[in-house]
Amino acid sequence: MRPVNTVTVALTGASGLPFGLSLIERLAESGRKVFVLYSQAAQIVARQEMDLAIPSRPADFALWLQQRTGAADGQIEVFGREEWFAPVASGSNPADAMVICPCSMGTLAAIANGMSDNLIERAADVSIKEGRKLVLVPRETPLSVIHLENMLRLARLGAVILPPVPAFYTKPQTLDDMIDFIVSRILDQLGIDNQLVARWGAPAPE
């Protein structure tokens, strides 16, 4: 697996914005460069789930994320849905990996069928064609045959399908504990060391 120094994180309109924002925070803490993409629906979900007003202007959102995560200047860059000159829009300058967290079924379907109508879809298409790591965190239940077939299609193309399914063997005590479990699994897929949760058969992290 190639070293992951730059990660694209896309936030879509599925439930589960706390996972995506926590992932961005952990990536920033690890010193990674982070490209953030987000949809208008993600802004609506953030307000509904977290009482957060995500800024509409990418530059304002980048500043908001920097202040939230303590990232260095320029460590987090945010791009709008139609910023076609963003690095992630081209195979000549893709990120080392991409995570869509949370991933709506609409976004998943578009990627599975090669659509590139916005920057999130285009960045995912680039990740697939360039053989880069693509992790999708779909949040929907129950799943229809259409959803399952789209996931299977993407899995066969090499994408990782990582539903945010909680584990209870870690004995979570808070909602943050459950979020950390999912974020830890995502970081594992990226090859990024973390001690967010106890490993199976290992003592709890201090």
What residues form the annotated binding site? Answer: 13-15, 39, 104-107, 139, 169, 185
Residues contributing to the annotated binding site for dimethylallyl phosphate: 169, 185
Tokens of residue 202, six digits: 């290992």
Which of 152-181 are b and which e, b meaning 16 or more Cβ less than 10 Å from the residue's Cβ?
eebeeeebbbbbbeeeeebebeeeeebbbb
Q: Per the omega criterion (within 30 degrees of 0), is the bond before 142 cis?
A: yes
- Assign 3-class secondary structure to 98-131: EEEEEECHHHHHHHHCCCCCCHHHHHHHHHHHCC
Residues contributing to the annotated binding site for FMN: 13-15, 39, 104-107, 139
CA–CA dist 181, 196 (Å, integer): 7
Tokens of residue 96, six digits: 């080392």
